[in-house]
Chains A and B, each alone.
Chain A
Amino acid sequence: MGPLELTAMVGEVGAWIVYLLIGFAFGFILESAGFGDSRRLAAQFYWRDLSVMQVMFTGIMVAMVLIFWATALGWLDYEEVWVNPTYVWPGIVGGLIMGAGFIFGGFCPGTSLVGAATLKLDAIWFVAGAAVGIHGFGETVALFNDFWHSSFLGRLTLQDWLGLPTGVVVLGLVSIGIVVLWAAELLRRRLYGDADEG
């Protein structure tokens, strides 16, 4: 039953190889989707190109359905899967900062690595900036430690928060996601006509 204890199964070197392969596949897919290009990423915020939203939402919905089907069939122990603990206000502030950085720089951290791997200068500068930012955070976090650990709600999931069965939440999210993607495409065509994206 998953999650798999890779190190116990294939040894430490084997586990690193698996991580490498997963990373390779992730980067390959992102580059294939054109997410190594900051113009395409930034276009999401102007509704000119909805690839980011379409790919990410679709990936999230597919992964969600697969995870909970695997749990339902006893292949995966969902309680053992890492879910980022919820810190409400730090999450909101961090999201705002990341959103601003995304639109200013045209990348998020993962896609900047994809772009840097193909030697795009803007991606390389973004990665450098991110490294400086990460270091700066590490050096200053003690000054706002109380805020950083505030409003802690633990491992909080939508089904916990809503008090609904997991399957109902999944169905609801998939339904909403499909409607949102369809409506967004309609809006994009209304704003920019039927021209191809990008």
Chain B
Amino acid sequence: MVTPMKASRLHALGAAVLLLAAAALAWHGQPTPSEKWRFLAAQLEPRLTERQVYIDPAELMGLMHDDYVDLFIIDLRDERDWNLFHLWGAERIPPQALSAHWKRFANLGENGVIVFVGNDEAIATDAWKQAMAAASRPNAYILAGGINRWLREFSPDSDANAPPAAGVPDENLRFPLKWALGARHPASLPDPHQTGTHSFTRKVRLQKRVVKKGGCG
């Protein structure tokens, strides 16, 4: 039988253990998006290695003309490249400012789609990983080949057979642009009827959110 004095000591011990666990938690902290990605990598890395989330520029063009889809094009490039050219309806968010948008990304509607865009794929891939870790796995994709590929395919100045500029590191805008037209460039919103497209595999799927509910009685 537990006497009042023993009960009192047990209460004190329990409180001390709980307080210690909470203090240790405050010291240890919660995982950053990068650390959280390490936990999720086994589950989500195949989506990258199997190119399941890299969408063809032609598919993104289709989404841009689809009124049903609530499309968020997130341009991660610097201001200079953004001013030179960016996609119609895109939103420029530098990678270091993404954390302010996780809540918004986590609360997309059922027809919401996010596409991360860089000049190539590296920073967009990194942003995708962080979004998966920090924004409750939104319906997000990456523009395959980035803006460099987009311009090669859709710019009227492009010679699609010409190889990209050599000797330039990744994530630089390799396509020569004479003026800073931003979204006024003809390639910012190509017309699919005039452009014509090659065949591609559709990868974007609208997510049906399973509403998990809870509560206590």
How far is A72 from B22 in the complex, measured between Cα atoms in Å? 12
Residues of A within 8 A of B22 (CB): 65, 167, 170-171, 173-175
Main secondary structure of the interface of B (DSSP, over half): helix
B134 at the interface (CB under 8 A from A): yes
Residues of A within 8 A of B212 (CB): 82
How far is A75 from B192 in the complex, measured between Cα atoms in Å? 46
B21 touches A65 (CB 8 A): yes
B18 touches A110 (CB 8 A): no
A167 touches B18 (CB 8 A): no
B215 touches A171 (CB 8 A): no
- Closest Cβ of chain A to B49, distance in Å, is 19
A110 touches B28 (CB 8 A): no
* Chain A residue with the shortest CB-CB distance to B103: A154
Other 10 A-B pairs with CB < 8 A, given A171-B19, A178-B19: A61-B18, A65-B18, A68-B25, A77-B40, A79-B136, A79-B137, A112-B217, A155-B103, A155-B107, A167-B26
The answer to whether residues A68 and B30 also contact, given A113-B217, A167-B25 and a CB cut-off of 8 A, is yes
The answer to whether residues A72 and B25 also contact, given A79-B106, A79-B136 and a CB cut-off of 8 A, is yes
Chain A residues in the interface with B (C-beta under 8 A): 1, 58, 61-62, 65, 68-69, 71-72, 74, 77-80, 82, 84, 108-113, 154-155, 165-168, 170-171, 173-175, 178
How far is A165 from B22 in the complex, measured between Cα atoms in Å? 12
CB < 8 Å: which of A71, A82, A155, A174 contacts B31?
Answer: A71
A168 touches B26 (CB 8 A): yes
Residues of B within 8 A of A1 (CB): 39-40, 43
- Closest Cβ of chain A to B115, distance in Å, is 21
Mark interface residues in B35-79 (1 if CB within 8 Å of A CB, else 0). 110111001000000000000000000000000000000000000
B29 touches A174 (CB 8 A): no
B134 touches A178 (CB 8 A): no
Chain B residues in the interface with A (C-beta under 8 A): 14-15, 18-19, 21-23, 25-31, 35-36, 38-40, 43, 103, 106-107, 134-137, 212-217
- Closest Cβ of chain A to B63, distance in Å, is 25
- Closest Cβ of chain B to A114, distance in Å, is 9
CB < 8 Å: which of A110, A111, A167, A175 contacts B19?
Answer: A175
How far is A109 from B216 in the complex, measured between Cα atoms in Å? 8
A167 touches B30 (CB 8 A): yes
B38 touches A74 (CB 8 A): yes
* Chain B residue with the shortest CB-CB distance to A61: B18
* Chain A residue with the shortest CB-CB distance to B107: A154
- Closest Cβ of chain B to A10, distance in Å, is 17
